[in-house]
Amino acid sequence: MKNTTYKVKKSDDLLKQAKEVIPGGIFGHYKYAVRDTGPKFFSRSEGAYFWDIDDNKYIDLMCAYGPSILGYKHPEVEEAANSQDSEGNTVSLASPVMVDLASSLVDLVDAADWALFGKNGGDSTSLAVMVARQATGKEKIIKIKDGYHGVAPWMQGKDRPGVIASDDTHVITINWNDLASLENILIEKSSEIACFISSPYDHPTSRDNVLPEEGYWQGVSNLCKKYNVIVIIDDVRAGFRINLSGSNVAYGFTPDLICFGKAIANGHPLSALVGTNAMKDAAEEVYFTGTQFFSASPMAAAIATLKELKKIDAANRMTDFGERLNKSLVLVAKENGYDLVASGVPAMPYYRLDNVDTRTHFKWIDECVRRGVYMLGYHNHFISTCHSDEDLEAICNIARQSFEALKENTL
Ligand SMILES: Cc1ncc(COP(=O)(O)O)c(C=O)c1O
């Protein structure tokens, strides 16, 4: 493999043009990822790869921040979406595929007795909080420090632009894996607390990801049950990459509500809130809707996605690939005199170069991107079922070349 680096001139030119007509040019989480030497716009995608508008090919370790779980343009998923599209997508009535999809989720997800649908993960987390408030008659939300649940003002934190202090009046933040704090708050304020919302493990940006300690989730469940607090699992990011029946199954507990998004329809716009029978009345009472929420094609795509995930035992397959990738990358780093730390679950690895400054870590990531592996320095990565052994070898070769470039630049 040639050790050459990519040019991204067309991307840079288009970003300049974009800034004239779009605030910031690229916005939101895609804006955070913009790096001087990196790609900014894609031209096409297939399987585990995308090409930027300068026609550079990348092995994609971000998978669109999660949605591409079976790989881009998966034939069965696209066929299901296109076939539904040819019959009708957004129409004045709901489609039978909505009922089929709800049934698929009830069959697949252990804690699901029903499902409601939105578009983005934030639709399902906001709805989950409303359902919890309706079910308990209480108002406050306990969340984990730096836990991300979307962009609604209550989720962002009061210091963010455009958010006012009263937006998070009812949000109480505690540290991950801290059962004692949870218990203390519940003892003090349980009459006000509607829900505890958390991802199944701690996957914040810009620091190592942390798994639940032994007994943590059982402790959370028991406390919440005791104080009539609804347990909401935000499985928007990790959903279907740890366990197809819900990530909670891997950690041995049953929540009241689970939020899904991202991977549920392999990139077609869809999210879901599922819940237990005890939550069903409250879910019916809460007013939840959106112009596009009934679009049938993404629902058909989701049915095909869930079927395929099950058929190929996807979560175990991605876990196996992630374990092998982590082991190989740690070894490549060691051979080059660096300590690479891989944290989180194997299908969503967060990488950090230890014992060097953050600049060096980011430089290594940039060097990988410039040679064709799309990675981020401050975010967990995502494995898809499309990543092959050949990709693993190519990733390791590029990682090796990038370490060598790093050493040359820092000598
Ligand atoms: C854990 C988690 N919850 C909620 C969301 C919000 O999802 P969306 O961006 O689709 O609204 C995200 C998005 O990254 C997420 O990672």
Ligand 1 centre and the CA of 149: distance in Å?
A: 5
CA dist list (Å): 44 to 47, 53, 291, 384 = 11, 8, 28, 17
Residue 1 has pLDDT above 80, yes or no: no
* Residues in Cβ contact with 333 at an 8 Å cutoff, skipping those fewer than 6 apart: 339, 340, 353, 399, 403
Query: What is the number of the ligand 1 atom nearest to the C-alpha of 65?
Result: 14
Ligand 1 pocket residue status of 39, Cβ below 6 Å:
no
Ligand 1 pocket residue status of 299, Cβ below 6 Å:
no
Domains contained in the chain, CATH given: 9-72+314-410 (3.90.1150.10), 75-311 (3.40.640.10)
**Category of 215 on φ-ψ map: left (φ > 0), alpha (ψ -120 to 50) or beta:** left
| Share above pLDDT 90 across residues of the chain, in percent, rounded to a whole number | 97
Other CB atoms within a 10 A radius of the CB of residue 86 amount to: 9
Question: pLDDT class for 20, splitting at 50, 70, 90?
Answer: very high
Q: What is the structure's pLDDT at 241? A: 98
Sign of CA dihedral 66, 67, 69, 71: negative
Ligand 1 centre and the CA of 145: distance in Å?
A: 15
Measured by CA distance, the residue closest to atom 4 of ligand 1 is 149
Ligand 1 pocket residue status of 121, Cβ below 6 Å:
yes
Ligand 1 pocket residue status of 234, Cβ below 6 Å:
yes
Measured by CA distance, the residue closest to atom 16 of ligand 1 is 237
Helix (H) or strand (E) holding 134: helix 121-136
Which of 63, 108, 107 shows the shortest CA–CA distance to 243?
108
Ligand 1 pocket residue status of 148, Cβ below 6 Å:
yes
Q: What is the structure's pLDDT at 157? A: 86
* Residues in Cβ contact with 148 at an 8 Å cutoff, skipping those fewer than 6 apart: 155, 199, 204, 205, 237
Query: What is the number of the ligand 1 atom nearest to the C-alpha of 271?
Result: 10
Q: What is the structure's pLDDT at 409? A: 79
Average confidence score pLDDT of the chain: 97
Which of 225, 171, 164 shows the shortest CA–CA distance to 197?
171
- Per-residue pLDDT of 277-313, as tens digits, reads 999 999 999 999 999 999 999 999 999 999 999 999 9
- Per-residue pLDDT of 74-100, as tens digits, reads 999 999 999 999 999 999 999 999 999
Ligand 1 pocket residue status of 247, Cβ below 6 Å:
no
Q: CA 229 to CA 141: how far, in whole Å? A: 9
The model's pTM is: 0.98
Q: What is the structure's pLDDT at 2? A: 58
Cβ pair 364, 297 in contact under 8 A: no
Residue 70 DSSP label: S
Residue 158 has pLDDT above 90, yes or no: no
Mutate to test the pocket of ligand 1, among 119, 262, 264 (most ligand atoms within 8 A of CB): 262
